[in-house]
A and B are shown apart, each in its own frame.
Chain A
Amino acid sequence: MFRHDTPAEAEFRIEVRTWLEANLPVALRWRTARPPPEEVLPWYRTLSRKGWIAPHWPKQYGGMGATLNEQIIMTEEMARIGAPHLPVQGLNHIGPILMEFGNAAQKARHLPSILDGSVIWAQGYSEPGAGSDLASLATRATLEGDHFEVQGQKIWTTWGHYSQWMFALVRTDPHAQPRHAGISFLLLDLRSPGIRIRPIKTIAGDDEFSEVFFDGVVVPAENLVGKLNDGWRIANALLGHERLGTSNPQFVIAALERAKTMARASGLIEDPVFQDRLAAASINVTALAAMFSHAVELTNRQDSLGPEASVLKIFGSELIQSLNALLIEAAGGLATAEQPVTTNFGSIDIAAPFLQARRATIYGGSSEIQRNVLSRRVLNLPN
């Protein structure tokens, strides 16, 4: 039913494992947050030179053209060694979107710089007034001859202040009904005049987010992806893949290991009550891994995932929060320490991953939005 390594895949797994052991710097392993650009980009480029930065991209665009099974093997091996989060907006979002909806010039211009890591991309969807209700977004792009003039603001832009380019949803028809029929998909050079970027510090103490202000920014008309007012469809076309990507069990496996290590260090591991909760958590991690295999199997067969992929987002994001709750419990009085805590079992980051996990049920469509989607589109409950 679900995936098992074939002999060739098992061989590939060993190749990946061996190469990672030899090439991934120890300082980049088991980091709880995405390391800053100066640390993580050299690793990005190492992967790029090896030809492994884009396993899921077709060979014609410079990717590995790996099968889904090979992609899973790679993510599993990355998880096993504790590889850091990479900037993924280019690789996972705008890259695949350009392959499907971009014109020849856009592909030729942007895909190579994603692969070699010379351009970092940011996603410009959310706005202060358009979060869960994304279709109400108001950043205005007015077509003036050969260019758009952009006015407005984006927010919760991951790595915005480290990025050179942004793909954004902008309003090109303020009167369209329904509202999402007046939205276009635009590529913006963040070094253009009239753009101001301000990092936002999160409750976890990092500055992964930023807000981006546009004041009369001139964007060449050739930076429109697809047709005018067709941006909503383009942005939503690959959501299933995004939900699959964010539910990769590597993140919950790492969180479970951290909670266990903390429990060993604090001695709570001997407590039968805690053991029961740890067993429940481990079983849930097994369940997420099974759901992920199931979804991959379906994607392998049908090449697409329907709205039911929201199930993975809900289960995976709530699981990572419950695992971090377990970590906090195991840490007891150490839970609030701002810096990683030194124990007999190594240095353990406690508060930071717990706080970071708050975002899992919010970004990429909050848990409540996912439930609305499932209720309407999968369970067919009435409006």
Chain B
Amino acid sequence: MELHLTSEQTLLRDSAAKFTAAAGPKVARGFRQQDPSFAPARLRQVAELGWLGILVPDSANGLGLGLTEFALVLQQAGRGLVCEPVGLAAISAAALGSAPTSHPLLPRVMSGEVLIVPALQESRAGDDPLAPRTQAMGSDGTIRLTGQKTFVCADGADGFLVSASSNGVPALYYVTRGAAGCTVSSTQTVEGRNLATLSFADTPAELIQPHGAARNAVEELYNLALFALSAELLGVMEKAHEVTLDYLRIRKQFGKLIGSFQALQHQAVNLYVRIEATRSLVFQVAANNDPYRIDPLLAVAAKAKASENAMAVTEACIQLHGAIGFTDEHDIGLYLKRAMLLSSLFGNAAAQRRRYVKLANVAG
């Protein structure tokens, strides 16, 4: 179903579409196993368009836009298989720009000069993001972190926003990549970029304040991450589906276009239903449009559904292509691999459901 957008939102979506059209599968292929796995110059172009500061309030020189606008940009990034970490950089900027006095690094983050990414995960299975085992000791000025973070998109990053417990309360800290006792160990992914494990041993860190006094900065950033990934996954599955529909319209077997076969038509419709459910959920999360007041239950629902659906859609797209879809040469596999990466980050569908059970008190 179409989204009803204002003329400004339509303009934004169209310029994002234009920008990301220059990316696409060919460009994404070129970054596989490169370090960094994206073009820093392109990230600075994104910054020039203002999108790294899209959620940052006007008062801190950001665009001061809402979640709907953010989702429109990320959806295009997903469609274009954009490799630059636009979403992660933008939510980090939002976290740095949210406190009454924004962080001194914020201008350089919004300009794309400094890349900061979230480091919130700790275990393979995706445990409670609000109960990190990484510990923060000491007080202002002399804070030290000890612990480990996993699945961090550290390629090209200059620093990290790390969740850690301070006297049992989760808080958010900034750690520079070169900080004492911080080691980064990377693993190559099938998707092309690396995921890193960060180890901290008495590593100096700086506390990041939440948006409002009563809020928690870790929760804000985590909910933003779930939302950003859901919007990007929506774009990935949508584009993969379109590529597949195009194929069904030109491929002939038994003397007929295979898209005329009802078995394949119904399969294509099933994927469409999944995409529409994801679209409605993503923009329902965005409904209040306030990046610092995301409904946690809705964000979990959106990430669960987006992760599940992106996997199901891109897997089926391979099947609908037949043998050609199984080749590295064909682009459709790139969408599956991107879906694998984004679905797994910050907790896959099953991890989100486990979180939903707790948050919604399903057993209560």
Contacts from A to B (Cβ < 8 Å): 1-4, 260, 269-270, 272, 275-276, 278-280, 282-284, 286-291, 293-295, 297-298, 301, 308, 311, 314-315, 368, 371-372, 374-375, 378-383
Contacts and interface: CB of A to CB of B under 8 A. Distances in A.
B242 to A, nearest CB: 10
Contact of A1 (B68, B268, B350): B68
A1 B289 contact: yes
Given A276-B354, A293-B287, A381-B265, 15 more contacts: A4-B287, A269-B363, A278-B357, A280-B353, A283-B304, A286-B297, A288-B277, A289-B284, A290-B277, A293-B280, A298-B1, A374-B269, A381-B245, A381-B249, A381-B268
B266 interface: yes
Interface string B278-320: 1111011011110000000110110011000000000000000
Contact of A290 (B68, B280, B356): B280
Contacts of B273: 311, 314-315
Contacts of A297: 4
B213 interface: no
B265 A375 contact: yes
A352 to B, nearest CB: 25
Contact of A282 (B278, B350, B360): B360
A290 B283 CA distance: 8
B4 A298 contact: yes
B289 A283 contact: no
A246 to B, nearest CB: 16
Nearest to B2: A298
A221 B362 CA distance: 59
Q: How large is the interface on B (under 10, 10 to 19, 20 to 34, 35 or more residues)?
A: 35 or more
Contacts of B272: 311, 374, 378-379
Nearest to B9: A1
B92 to A, nearest CB: 24
Chain B residues touching A, majority SS: helix
B259 A294 contact: no
A284 B353 CA distance: 11
B354 A291 contact: no
Contacts of A375: 262, 265-266, 268-269
Contacts of A276: 350, 353-354, 357
- Which of B276, B281, B304 lies at the interface centre, i.e. has the most chain A CB atoms within 10 A of its CB? B276
B66 to A, nearest CB: 9
Nearest to A374: B269
- Which of A290, A315, A379, A380 lies at the interface centre, i.e. has the most chain B CB atoms within 10 A of its CB? A290
B214 interface: no
B257 interface: yes
26 contacts: A1-B3, A1-B68, A2-B284, A269-B363, A276-B354, A279-B304, A279-B357, A279-B360, A280-B304, A280-B353, A287-B277, A291-B276, A294-B279, A297-B4, A298-B4, A311-B276, A315-B276, A374-B272, A375-B262, A375-B268, A375-B269, A381-B248, A381-B259, A381-B260, A381-B265, A382-B260
A311 B275 CA distance: 10
| Leading 10 A-B pairs by shortest Cβ distance | A290-B284, A375-B265, A290-B280, A279-B353, A291-B280, A279-B356, A381-B259, A294-B280, A2-B287, A371-B269
A301 B4 CA distance: 8
Contacts of A291: 1, 276-277, 280
Nearest to B276: A311
Contact of B249 (A284, A295, A382): A382
Nearest to B283: A1
A72 to B, nearest CB: 14
Contacts of A272: 357
A4 B360 CA distance: 21
